[in-house]
Structure 1
């Protein structure tokens, strides 16, 4: 083959003479496997490979980083924010049909049952004991009151600082939280 041939990852060769005939054989073989499709000439194939390479380079993540998001996964409402794409700092609210809780991950550490967390939003400070699975639970009257006050503070505040009893801490922006979190908080376990 001569040096003017462009090589593509899926085995197409585009050039002149013998190389072009070899490319035609490969295109015919590809069409027999995939069925009719676009003409895989040199320019079209280069564009196709470029587009596929760009999609392969894009990060695949469900939630954005640095801003509040909401979703409806497997029949559950969920809200949250991640500070980085690795998810080492994450604040997650699950509003399920049978359970409502808040999950925290700070510096890659998920707290354990019995540990505490202090959340500061403006002048408001919330100290919570982490229950089952290390989550902030909402089954008690105190959990219900704390969850509702916390929810209102997140909608109105600008910044939220979370400190775990293990020493890890981080700040989450609350910019955009009022647009994501509905005015009325999720139904808590205490209300069920």
Structure 2
């Protein structure tokens, strides 16, 4: 049976949990992610008849979910401050993903903030590749871009995330040897605190 012939109910069973995991990581809230999953499934249902199977059902679902989440976050009240990342130059295929023990603690405040500042295309690429485990080719299919562009997005998203974390967080290992982080004070917070010994 080709992907185009997969019954909708079977497609839902196949993709619902991975897509929900992706949306939770994308928007950072389980309740919102569940709502966006329902919208994703509605759009899948409407488009199932025209789905030609050029990509897997899972990849197609991630592509729809990415658009649904991006549409949601474009609302002015939901827009975090994003950084601008250049996408013009080609880069080599980046090797190695985010430290696995760091991913375990991915919803820490430092990491969540850094992910939230990424533009949509970089956020999607990072989550799909490093947290959902898709290949660079699959990221390209989901993002509807070339493989080279997908690799650039993954590379730049990883670089920004690491830079942002280094500036905002102090890393340490807890008693269970899990890699964790605490937010650093910014300059304004330090300025507001009284100096020891000051009168």
Superposition TM-score, scaled by structure 2 size? 0.23
Which one scores higher on RCO, CA 8 angstroms, separation ≥ 6? 2
Q: Which has the higher helix share?
A: 2
Q: Which has the higher strand share?
A: 1
